[in-house]
């Protein structure tokens, strides 16, 4: 039902389309066509309501804990999209009557949602509808909507009710106190809502602007008010060929906006300002406002990332644009107190919390493509040290133990405690990651390292980065457990990336990453000793670094790092995995939904089977290959290959984080067909034919992974400390790949064909990079022929 072949013109591969209305899978379009600007996100629910819709709007950072026994989350705001439309007194719904020429489209280039169709009412009257909508990138507080209705046959009575409805909640949890509602000048509707715990005021203003046949009309709608609702009611008599246009313009401000979140905030002022902003927007009107928005998308997004994929299948180009579109919508680039949510701002799933998804799956895009935004996202983690220290203290550790799920920086751990049903006991399953999935702290340290190496931003390290790396290393040093028998440090009772294994000892990924984190801290310490002893002194005082440094050196090389088995080079995911029972997993692979194994087994039983939710050992092999471990024979090509062959069949990819890592590793080991097919599968997590996968929101990490697979997988871009490696291995279906990265202050453009790598540098400095084992330097541009063999493996 989804189609991506639209617009065989300049909009080719820019349009995500729905060709047929499907009321049974509304969640799909609501999420993948969702609109956003990083400040706010709006699910693309239809104006008229349907039973299985999920009417969501979120503003970044407005976290609230509705009830004492719930986790803090992004509250679902009052709805401004719903319009209750009646035609000749009967409810308008696409489930009733007859639909012709249906089309719903998200134009990725202009970030506009449109919906158009001719509708024959059950009484036989025909109307042409066009709906348009955008969430402005130019004015982060603005939402524009437009409805065009043309009467095609007989006269009709057309009426609608529209306003602001704050009877919304998050799956039954209400975050807001009922606030003031008012209609100014019989036109400008204002509703205030305040979160019940974090006390954030949200002020929403909306107004309608009506024309008939292009002429503005004077119309005094009825005014209505109810609990948590305020709206207006309009009635028109349309003659054949009459065209009614309704613009609905909305402004939205909160007391958490950084412009007002200071001592002098006044709700009265915010109400007045936001109302004036609306009045100004209403004067301009939808079209002018939309133009400014569209221009901003060109300037801030498409002209910056300009990512070309030449593929036999245009869908690949579309998928990349889809990725860049949502990476823009989901990211609160405007405010470094906020992070990226696991579902972006497109659904309730994961409550708007930030996971390691950001650092390992999304941040790389920004580090390489828009370092300023990457910096902002890392400052969010720096601010989160407050919460991370709180968590460490609560758990009896030192330093900074980052929360598995992070919301407002000072919150600390916010992972909910209880989840889905346990099919054996009939009770809720305990959610353990908030307690024992600990690699997140090292993942964040890794992100600092990666940001620093790619961007060369010493100010960042000085102001934020060192402190993160040192304090997470302090956590690990306190976390290690001495095994007196083996004379090693172990990390026991954890969950690794593969969450189908709980309470395991020595998860390879966790142990290696802890090792990496402490080694990095030692290296940074020694670097500061030489380069900036003054700063080191300051940090010593703050973080008891002298003792910590001694501790790191004492412990780091005694951390147990599981080596590849001699017989087959397989690295044990943890102490027990390789000894667990193996079962036939085919039933659970490629299901229409994930986690189907839970229909047959509970957590305890899954723990006892060689089955993985997602990449675990493989992500280790991909990730640390980029680091100072890159020469370690333990992770050489053969090891990658052996582990891929061992773990891939056991991995259900029940996490959307999994496929893109497997795709990159498949590309690394030279299996280009498999790599491409895994890439395809990863794009289908949101854009594919399984219609319910995106119900709770888009998959932010998987969307970041689309870019990662293209750049780190097919273009073969890697970081070996401060050296850039470029070893392309295009899929057979691709004719070329072109994109730019930001490398240490310069823009580097890569243009890759199956036989040629062309590198262009702007910025005046010489670029050094490695390709096929050779080191090249480039002043302006260079072309390197690609040997068939060299692209097969690296």
**Which of 23, 155, 240, 689: binder of a second copy (CB under 8 A)?**
23
**To 10 degrees, what angle do helices 508-531 and 440-455 make?**
50
Interatomic CA distance for residues 99 and 103, integer angstroms: 10
Site for a second copy contains 1 (CB under 8 A):
no
Q: For a second copy, how many residues bind (rule: CB under 8 A)?
A: 51
Residues 357-386, mask of contacts with a second copy (x by CB under 8 A): ------------------------------
Residue 162 or 627: which CB sits closer to a second copy? 162
Site for a second copy contains 690 (CB under 8 A):
no
**Which of 49, 285, 314, 670: binder of a second copy (CB under 8 A)?**
49
Instruction: Find all residues with CB under 8 Å of 564, minimum gap 6, and list them.
Output: 570, 571, 634, 639, 642, 643
CA 765 to chain centre: 34
Q: Hey, which residues between 544 and 603 contact a second copy (CB under 8 A)?
A: 599
Could you please report the per-residue DSSP string of 47-61? SS--TT----EEETT
**Which of 426, 633, 764, 785: binder of a second copy (CB under 8 A)?**
426
Site for a second copy contains 692 (CB under 8 A):
no
**Which of 12, 88, 169, 575: binder of a second copy (CB under 8 A)?**
169
Nearest to 585 by CA among 670, 652, 672: 652
Site for a second copy contains 691 (CB under 8 A):
no
Q: Hey, which residues between 629 and 668 contact a second copy (CB under 8 A)?
A: none
Site for a second copy contains 199 (CB under 8 A):
no
List, in sequence order, every residue forming a beta bridge with 250; answer none if it has no partner. 143, 206
Site for a second copy contains 186 (CB under 8 A):
yes
Interatomic CA distance for residues 299 and 681, integer angstroms: 31
Can you read off the two tokens belonging to residue 566? 């001699």
Can you read off the two tokens belonging to residue 349? 């799933």
CA atoms within 13 A on the CB side of 280: 10
Interatomic CA distance for residues 281 and 250, integer angstroms: 9
Can you read off the two tokens belonging to residue 548? 């910590």
Interatomic CA distance for residues 71 and 68, integer angstroms: 8
Site for a second copy contains 172 (CB under 8 A):
yes
Residues 401-420, mask of contacts with a second copy (x by CB under 8 A): -------------------x
**Which of 181, 343, 540, 725: binder of a second copy (CB under 8 A)?**
181
Interatomic CA distance for residues 630 and 724, integer angstroms: 13
Could you please report the per-residue DSSP string of 58-80? EETT--B--STTS--BPPPPPB-
**To 10 degrees, what angle do helices 286-297 and 267-284 make?**
100
Site for a second copy contains 24 (CB under 8 A):
yes
Whole-Å CA distances, 622 to 61, 404, 645, 790, 794: 32, 22, 15, 19, 12
Instruction: Find all residues with CB under 8 Å of 738, minimum gap 6, and list them.
Output: 306, 307, 308, 749, 750, 751, 752
| Annotated catalytic residue, options 467, 499, 625, 648 | 499
Site for a second copy contains 51 (CB under 8 A):
yes
Stretch that binds a second copy, among 244-252, 424-432, 663-671, 722-730 (CB under 8 A): 424-432
Q: How far apart are the first and last CA of the chain?
A: 40
* Pairing mode, strands 723-726 and 767-771: parallel
Site for a second copy contains 230 (CB under 8 A):
yes
Stretch that binds a second copy, among 38-46, 178-186, 563-571, 760-768 (CB under 8 A): 178-186
Please tell me whether residue 218 adopts helix, strand or coil conformation.
coil
Look up 148 and say whether it is catalytic: no
Stretch that binds a second copy, among 47-55, 282-290, 372-380, 393-401 (CB under 8 A): 47-55
Residue 418 or 482: which CB sits closer to a second copy? 418
**What count of residues does the chain have?**
794
**Which of 8, 227, 487, 581: binder of a second copy (CB under 8 A)?**
227
Site for a second copy contains 101 (CB under 8 A):
no
Site for a second copy contains 222 (CB under 8 A):
yes
Site for a second copy contains 93 (CB under 8 A):
yes
Site for a second copy contains 298 (CB under 8 A):
no
Whole-Å CA distances, 593 to 223, 323, 652, 653, 689: 45, 22, 11, 11, 11
Residue 177 or 674: which CB sits closer to a second copy? 177
Interatomic CA distance for residues 785 and 255, integer angstroms: 56
Residue 22 or 483: which CB sits closer to a second copy? 22
Site for a second copy contains 5 (CB under 8 A):
no
**Which of 5, 213, 224, 458: binder of a second copy (CB under 8 A)?**
224
DSSP 581: B
Instruction: Find all residues with CB under 8 Å of 44, minimum gap 6, and list them.
Output: 29, 30, 31, 33, 34, 35, 106, 113, 133
Interatomic CA distance for residues 42 and 33, integer angstroms: 9
**Which of 7, 11, 88, 90: binder of a second copy (CB under 8 A)?**
90
**Which of 8, 10, 101, 185: binder of a second copy (CB under 8 A)?**
185
- The answer to whether 665 and 687 are in contact (CB under 8 A) is no
Residue 315 or 598: which CB sits closer to a second copy? 598
The residue to which tokens 């009635």 are assigned: 235
**Which of 65, 168, 256, 613: binder of a second copy (CB under 8 A)?**
168
Instruction: Find all residues with CB under 8 Å of 291, minimum gap 6, and list them.
Output: none
SS3 content of the chain, % helix, strand, coil (to 5): 35, 25, 40
Residue 410 or 428: which CB sits closer to a second copy? 428
**Which of 133, 228, 293, 708: binder of a second copy (CB under 8 A)?**
228
Site for a second copy contains 244 (CB under 8 A):
no
**Which of 17, 107, 174, 573: binder of a second copy (CB under 8 A)?**
174
**Which of 16, 32, 57, 66: binder of a second copy (CB under 8 A)?**
66
Can you read off the two tokens belonging to residue 696? 């709770």
Q: How far is the CB of 275 from a second copy (least distance, A)?
A: 12
Q: How far is the CB of 428 from a second copy (least distance, A)?
A: 6
Residue 197 or 296: which CB sits closer to a second copy? 197
**Which of 177, 386, 583, 691: binder of a second copy (CB under 8 A)?**
177
Site for a second copy contains 183 (CB under 8 A):
yes
Q: How far is the CB of 447 from a second copy (least distance, A)?
A: 31
**Which of 8, 68, 262, 263: binder of a second copy (CB under 8 A)?**
68
Stretch that binds a second copy, among 123-131, 423-431, 560-568, 649-657 (CB under 8 A): 423-431
Interatomic CA distance for residues 162 and 94, integer angstroms: 18
Q: Which residues bind a second copy (CB under 8 A)?
A: 23-24, 49-52, 66-70, 90-91, 93, 95-96, 166-174, 177-178, 180-186, 196, 222-230, 420-421, 423, 426-428, 599
Catalytic residues: 499
């Amino acid at each position: 039902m989804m189609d991506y072949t639209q617009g065989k013109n300049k909009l080719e591969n820019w349009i995500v389309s729905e060709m047929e209305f499907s009321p049974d899978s509304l969640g799909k379009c609501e999420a993948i066509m969702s609109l956003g600007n990083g400040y706010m996100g709006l699910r693309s629910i239809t104006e008229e309501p349907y039973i299985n819709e999920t009417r969501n709007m979120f503003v970044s950072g407005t976290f609230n804990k509705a009830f004492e026994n719930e986790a803090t989350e992004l509250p679902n705001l009052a709805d401004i999209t719903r319009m209750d439309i009646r035609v000749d007194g009967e409810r308008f719904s696409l489930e009733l009557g007859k639909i012709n020429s249906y089309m719903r489209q998200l134009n990725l280039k202009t970030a506009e949602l449109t919906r158009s169709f001719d509708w024959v009412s059950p009484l036989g009257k025909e109307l042409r509808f066009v709906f348009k909508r955008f969430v402005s990138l130019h004015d982060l507080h603005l939402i524009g909507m437009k409805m065009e209705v043309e009467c095609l046959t007989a006269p009709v009575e057309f009426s609608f009710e529209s306003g602001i409805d704050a009877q919304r909640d998050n799956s039954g949890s209400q975050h807001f106190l009922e606030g003031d509602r008012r209609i100014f000048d019989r036109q400008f509707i204002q509703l205030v809502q305040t979160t019940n715990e974090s006390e954030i005021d949200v002020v929403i203003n909306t107004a309608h602007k009506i024309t008939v046949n292009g002429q503005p009309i004077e119309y005094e709608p009825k005014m209505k008010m109810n609990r948590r609702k305020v709206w207006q009611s309009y009635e028109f008599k349309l003659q054949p060929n009459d065209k009614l246009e309704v613009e609905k313009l909305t402004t939205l401000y909160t007391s958490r906006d950084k412009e007002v979140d200071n001592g002098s905030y006044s709700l009265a002022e915010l109400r007045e300002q936001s109302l004036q902003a609306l009045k100004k927007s209403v004067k301009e009107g939808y079209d002018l406002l939309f133009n400014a928005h569209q221009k901003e998308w060109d300037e801030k997004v498409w002209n910056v990332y300009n990512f070309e994929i030449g593929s036999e299948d245009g869908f690949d180009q579309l998928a990349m644009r889809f990725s860049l579109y949502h990476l823009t919508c989901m990211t609160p680039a405007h405010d470094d107190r906020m992070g990226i949510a696991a579902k972006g701002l497109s659904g309730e799933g994961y409550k708007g919390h930030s996971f390691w998804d950001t650092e390992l799956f999304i941040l790389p895009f920004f580090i390489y493509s828009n370092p300023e935004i990457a910096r902002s996202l890392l400052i969010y983690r720096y601010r989160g040290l407050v919460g991370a220290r709180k968590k460490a203290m609560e758990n009896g550790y030192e330093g900074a133990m980052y929360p598995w799920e992070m919301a407002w920086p000072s919150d600390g751990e916010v992972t909910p405690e209880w989840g889905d049903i346990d099919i054996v006991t009939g009770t809720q399953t305990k959610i353990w990651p908030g307690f024992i999935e600990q690699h997140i702290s090292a993942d964040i340290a890794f992100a600092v390292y990666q940001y620093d190496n790619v961007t060369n931003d010493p100010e960042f390290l000085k102001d934020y980065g060192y402190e993160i790396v040192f304090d997470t290393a302090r956590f690990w040093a306190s976390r290690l457990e001495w095994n007196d028998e083996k004379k090693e440090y172990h990390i026991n009772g954890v969950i690794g990336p593969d969450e189908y294994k709980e309470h395991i000892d020595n998860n390879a990924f966790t142990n290696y990453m802890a090792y990496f984190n402490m080694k990095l801290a030692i290296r940074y310490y020694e670097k500061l000793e030489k380069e900036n002893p003054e700063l080191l002194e300051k940090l010593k005082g703050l973080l008891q670094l002298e003792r910590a440094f001694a501790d790191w050196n004492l412990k780091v090389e005694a951390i147990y790092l599981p080596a590849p088995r001699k017989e087959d080079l397989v690295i044990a995911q943890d102490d027990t995995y390789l000894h667990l029972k193996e079962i036939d997993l085919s039933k659970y692979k490629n299901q229409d939904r994930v986690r189907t194994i839970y229909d047959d087994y509970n957590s305890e039983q899954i723990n006892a089977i060689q089955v993985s939710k997602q990449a675990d050992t493989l992500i280790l092999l991909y990730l640390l290959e980029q680091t100072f471990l890159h020469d370690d024979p333990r992770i050489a090509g053969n090891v990658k290959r052996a582990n891929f062959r061992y773990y891939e069949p056991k991995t259900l990819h029940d996490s959307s984080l999994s496929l893109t890592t497997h795709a990159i590793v498949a590309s690394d080991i030279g299996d280009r067909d498999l790599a491409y097919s895994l890439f395809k599968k990863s794009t289908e997590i949101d854009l594919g034919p399984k219609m319910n996968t995106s119900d709770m929101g888009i998959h932010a990490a998987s969307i970041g992974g689309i870019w990662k697979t293209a750049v780190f997988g097919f273009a073969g871009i890697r970081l070996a400390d401060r050296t850039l490696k470029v070893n392309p291995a295009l899929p057979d279906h691709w004719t070329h790949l072109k994109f730019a990265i930001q490398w240490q202050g310069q823009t580097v453009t890569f243009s890759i064909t199956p036989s040629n790598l062309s590198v262009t540098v702007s910025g005046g400095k010489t670029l050094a990079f490695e390709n096929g084992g050779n080191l090249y330097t480039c002043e302006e541009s260079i072309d390197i022929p690609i040997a068939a063999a060299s692209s097969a493996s690296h």
